[in-house]
Amino acid sequence: MISPIQKLHALGQSIWYDNIQRRLLAKSPEGKNGEMAAMIARGDIRGVTSNPSIFHNAIAKTNDYDPALIPMAWSGWNAEQIFWQLAIEDIRDACDLFLVLYRETEGADGYVSLEVNPTLAHNTEGTLSQAKQLWEWVARPNLMVKIPATLEGLPAIQDAIAAGININVTLIFSIDRYRAVMDAYLAGLDARLAAGLPVDHVASVASFFVSRMDTKVDHLLPEGSLLRGKTAIAYTKLAYEEFRKVFSGERFARHQAAGCHLQRPLWASTSTKNPAYPDTLYVNSLIGPATVNTVPPQTLEAFRDHGKAEPTLMKHLDKARKVLDDVESLGVSMDKVTAELEDEGVKSFADAFVAMLKTIDERRSAAVSELGPLAVSVKQCVASLIADATPARLWSHDPTLWTADKTGQEEVRKRLGWLDLPNSSRACLKEMRDFVSQVRADGFTHVLLLGMGGSSLAPEVLSLIFSPSLQGGVAFSTLDSTDPAQVLAADKEFPPEKTLYVVSSKSGGTAEINALFSYFWERTGHDGSHFVAVTDPGTTLEALANARGFRKTFHADPAVGGRYSALTHFGLVPAALMGIDLDRLLDRAAWMMRQCAADVTGTRNPGLVLGAILGQAALDGRDKLTFLADESVAPFGAWLEQLVAESSGKLGMGILPVDGEQAAGPESYGIDRLFVYLRREGMLDATVKALQDAGHPALVFNLADAYDLGAEFYRWEVATAIACAVLGVNAFDQPDVQDAKDRTKTTIAAYSHSKHFDEGQPLWEMDGMRAFSTMRLTGTGLGNDLQAFLSAVRKGDYIAINAYLPRNPEIATVLARLRLAIRDRTGCATTVGFGPRFLHSTGQLHKGGPDSGLFLQITAEPVEDLEIPGQGMSFGTLERAQALGDYEALAARGRRILRLNLPSPEAVKLLVNALK
């Protein structure tokens, strides 16, 4: 069945859509086409018009524009700069959607209109200048620039047409002015022809405003007059008669022979303002060939449902003239009406433009307030990054962004594959899905990932944040510890006969992972079908997997470093096993990738601007990046901790991520803090507002749902790379990590020979507890030495609690109490890391970053130890050797350390009591 819209188009009238907003356009964060693409595909609309009122509603009533608006505000742009950037993005996207139709109709349809600043309505030069500027900015052949048909606008219209710019002449109310508009169009064509310039691509419409006339005239007519609701249609029909005269005359015949287009009349303001009138009145009554009707959403839906598509424009012209004569006879001057309508229209659009800028400025001010004292320096930093062509250099893999060292540059070139992962990883998804189907078919109900750092943190974050919403997935957990109690707990929770073990290591030779594999290999009875490897091509893990008959080996992208690998096989294989929709996750990441692309205006690039904030904050002394988070997204902080700390902490520089520290009032924090609130439910809104009001910089990032992690993984990877460029450090190496590993190997070798650890002379030993330190402490017991250790803090220091203990809820709770007591006593930032896990996260920063850390290392005698099959030592021995290697590496750099060896993990409670 042919729809009313199809019939209308067949009669020669095009429906354009008087509406634009971001959610209608090309790509949502989920990667899906907006509704506008569907409307075009159905043939509902053949163009789009916009005006300040439409943009004001779109921006004021939704948060759709915030992802673009906020970075521009942080970059120091004013409200008008922000508006034009937002508008141009929307108009470009809409133009691109209509480009096929534009070409198919040879420029008859497919146009998108953008209005010049309406406050320029009486400024000829200003209007023309901005029309040229918008034409250049949008750079699309199917753009129409809207210029009002004021007396001052007419010369601008003529000159813009002569310059080859498509023009939508707006705010036409009188027939006399309409004649002048048509003359301006033809005069512009004359100028192009006289200059020998082409005219076949120059298009224009003349927008005649309809329903506003009835609204005004009806109030001037007597109550109950039968003329009410008839003036506008009658007047518009006579305007159309003028169009037919001009464009069937000799003057245009010469233009047409040269390839000029008709300047079609466009009926605007065709929604029904009076509810007593039919809702399709101003569509049904104005249908004729070579015309356009631009309709708002409600009018489009009404016409689609019950509109009547019949040729009506050229009918009853005598009646139309009589209506106008009768209106005049009642003392209504149409000249006065149309003059007032023009003044009111100009004022209405100007007021809407000013109101829109006010709304944007309110949003801008709110965003800038998040920066607090960093606003000026961040603006300068962003400008400097743009001046240095940083976005383009990032995407061209220019290593000089981070290092002048030739060896370092080679490492950088091999580590930038993450930039394209939202696209490149899609080729692997079918293989992953097929694998998951087979695993489920074979009856596996549990998955335990054996990994460290970049191989385990992203899967852990995904499992903890997605788990409440996933249905039908497997029981999933990560094991990234050599603590025997934690290994035993995982063994108990994950029965070998039901468990698939994901052995995940980029290098393939990670000591912890090798130990864990040896243990669980024995537990499964040497059954390779229970194991899958995720590693780079050609590693020893791949060789092991082949030799032991693993179920499968997945090759990760070798051009991606471990901490940037969330969207590679290291993150996606576990995500697939959990039941996460990988396409949806990558769609969100791809959306963020487009926002951070090389061709995106730098101030608009969310990754670049965030990176500028992180880097500049550190340079300004705010190097304690403190994450506050709603509970549902709090696990994300652990992944961010590794990314930021291991990337930035070197050459005496670095940004310390503070994750999991209990939120408090502004008085609990020093001026070395930059806060980031990961917001989902808004539980910490009041806390963050108090921090901002007290002058602390506190940024807010909203996550709509768990799949937004895809976008945030990507945003923070770009931001971290940029922050490191600002700091002047190589984001992609970890030069100090190997030292602790080498010292651990030496310690293990010595232990293997003597079966004894050389821990040095303790400060004291009592009740099974021993203390060691690189500092001059009292040596008189736990309470005194702990107090003396903390009294050594300096301004800008942090205290890192490095606990080689089981990572379980009980001990985590005690350590949270301990760090809170330390923060309250010292006023310093605190971190908690479980060893050896943190060695693959913050360990690099501890050793390569600034000398501003005090390290409280806690070890304990295991309650029950486990032998590592085939390695001649236990997990407890390996864990102790790692702690000693870490201690020695810190001591070699002159770090301030207090090491406490406890008689058991539970004795950690004594440390809290000692601070009371």
Q: Which helix (H) or strand (E) holds 348?
A: helix 334-371
d(CA 740, CA 756): 19
Measured N-to-C along each axis, helices 875-892 and 511-523 cross at an angle, to the nearest 10 degrees, of 170
Is 414 among the catalytic positions?
Answer: no
Cis peptide before 836 (omega within 30 of 0): yes
C-alpha dist (Å) from residue 406 to 450, 562, 686, 720, 899: 35, 22, 49, 22, 39
d(CA 105, CA 737): 63
d(CA 871, CA 868): 6
d(CA 353, CA 60): 12
Cα atoms found within 13 Å of the Cα of residue 803, Cβ hemisphere only? 26
CB-CB neighbours of 624 under 10 Å: 27
Q: What is the DSSP letter of 33?
A: B
Give every CB contact of residue 100 below 8 A, 6+ residues apart in sequence.
Answer: 110
CB-CB neighbours of 494 under 10 Å: 21
Q: Which amino acid is at 862?
A: P
Question: Residue 475 class from Cβ within 10 Å (0-12 exposed, 13-18 middle, 19+ buried)?
Answer: middle
| Residue tagged active-site, from 146, 216, 230, 237 | 146
What b/e string do you get for 780-793 counting C-beta neighbours within 10 Å, with b at 16 or more? eebeebbebbbeeb
C-alpha dist (Å) from residue 519 to 76, 524, 867: 56, 9, 8
Cα atoms found within 13 Å of the Cα of residue 548, Cβ hemisphere only? 26
Tokens matching residue 549: 């008959």
d(CA 478, CA 449): 5
Q: Which residues are catalytic?
A: 146
